[in-house]
Structure 1
C-alpha cells in the first residue's frame, strides 16, 4: 500500500470515528473521544484537520457525497433512504446525519438544503423519463418530499426505545414507511378526482390577482 493510500485510509478512519462519536454524543463531543474511537491521538487528528470545525465540515461533506451517490437511480423505489438502510458501510454517515438533523442550526440547514436540491434534480430526471408526473411547482414538491422524509426520520429517533442503534432506527423507518409512501405516491389518497387541488389552485390565482 502506498504512502498516499495510507494517508487516505487514516483520514477516512478519522472521519468515520468522528461521525460515530458526534452521531452518538452530539456535535459538542470532545476531540479526545473522537481520537479514542479512531485509535489515534488528538495531535494526529489536528495534523489532518486544523480544527474541530474543519473536521465536522469534512464529515458533512461526506454526507453530501453519500447523498449524491445514492441518488443515482432513476427508479423512485430505489431511493437514498433505502440505500442507506441496507448498507452497513453507511452506519457512521447515518448516525452523523441523524444527529445533525436533530440538533438543527447551520449544519442541519446545509444538509437539508443540499438534500432538497438533490431531490429537485432527481425528480426532474424522473419527470423527463416519464416515471412521475409533472408538478405545478417542482421546487415546492422537492422541498415537501424532502422535509416529509427528514421530519419523519427525526421523529423516529425521538421516539426510539433506549439502546436502539442508529441503523436499527433507520432500517425500521424505511421498513415501515416504504409501503404507505409508495401507495400514496402511486394511487393518491383523495377520491374527489382532483377537485380539492383545483379549488386550491383557484384560491392561489385569486390571491395573486388581489395582490396586483
Structure 2
C-alpha cells in the first residue's frame, strides 16, 4: 500500500495495520494478526512500535501525513489531474479513507486523535490556500477547519450510502462514483448555497465583532 519505495519492515507493519484497521477497527485487530498480514514475526511489531498503542499513533500520524501531501491538489494553481486516473494510480487512498472512517465510527480517544489531526491538517491547507490565492482567507480559520472536517467525516461515515445513490456500489472513491460526489462538493464550495449574506449578517449582529465568545464572521461586504 506504500506510495513510495519505503518498504522497510516498519513500513510493512504499518501498512498492514492500516489495511486491517480500515476493515475492522482497532478493537478487533491484534498484534499477532498484524504481524501475519505483514509476514513478519510478532516480536518485530513490538520492537519497532513498542505496543499496540504505539503502532496506532504511528499509523494515525502517517495517515495524516499522506492526507497533507494531497493538499497540493487544492493549493496548486495549475490544471487538475483526471480524477479517475489519479485514484487508479493511488490505490492507497482507499484504505486511508476507510481507516479514518473506521476510527471515527468507533469513537473514544482514537477518534479524537484522528479528528484533531485532520483539523490541524485542514488549518494548514486553508492557510496555504489563502497564501496561494486559491482559497478565501478567514479570520477564524480554525473554526472553519473544524466544520469542514466534521462535514467531511460525516460523508466518510455515510460513504456507502453516498456511493449507493451515486454509482450503485459501496465505495465512494470508486472511479464511477467519486466524480459525481466530487463535482457536487466542489460546486457547493465554488457557488455557495446561500445567495446573499443575510444569514451571516444576522449571526454577526447576534455576536458583535470583538466579543469574547466568538470570532467575528466576515461577510463579503467586509472582505
Give me the TM-score of the superposition, normalised by structure 1.
Answer: 0.77
Point out the structure with the larger helix share.
1
Whether the 8 Å CA contact 1:160–1:169 is kept in 2: the answer is: yes
Shift of 1:8: 5.8
Please tell me the root mean square deviation across aligned C-alpha atoms, in Å.
3.4
Whether the 8 Å CA contact 1:17–1:92 is kept in 2: the answer is: no
Shift of 1:15: 0.9
Structure 2: how far apart are the matches of 1:52 and 1:184?
Answer: 40
Tell me which moved more, 170-179 or 34-43: 170-179
Q: Which runs of 4+ in 1 moved over 4 A?
A: 81-86, 157-161
Whether the 8 Å CA contact 1:85–1:170 is kept in 2: the answer is: yes
SS at match of 1:205: coil
Shift of 1:12: 0.9
1:142 to 138, 142, 145: 145
1:150-169 CA distances to partner (integer Å, 9 max, x unpaired)? 111112257877xx77xx34
Q: Could you say if the C-alpha distance between residues 177 and 158 of structure 1 is closer, same or farther in structure 2, counting changes exceeding 3 Å?
A: closer
Structure 2: how far apart are the matches of 1:83 and 1:195?
Answer: 41
Shift of 1:85: 4.4
Structure 2: how far apart are the matches of 1:91 and 1:152?
Answer: 14
Whether the 8 Å CA contact 2:172–2:181 is kept in 1: the answer is: no
Q: Relative contact order (C-alpha < 8 Å, sep 6+): which is higher? A: 1
Residue number in structure 1 paired with 2:57: 57
Whether the 8 Å CA contact 1:153–1:173 is kept in 2: the answer is: no
- The unaligned stretches of length 5 or more in structure 2 are 1-5, 213-223
Q: Could you say if the C-alpha distance between residues 25 and 125 of structure 1 is closer, same or farther in structure 2, counting changes exceeding 3 Å?
A: closer
Give me the TM-score of the superposition, normalised by structure 2.
Answer: 0.73
- The unaligned stretches of length 5 or more in structure 1 are 1-6
Q: Could you say if the C-alpha distance between residues 12 and 153 of structure 1 is closer, same or farther in structure 2, counting changes exceeding 3 Å?
A: same
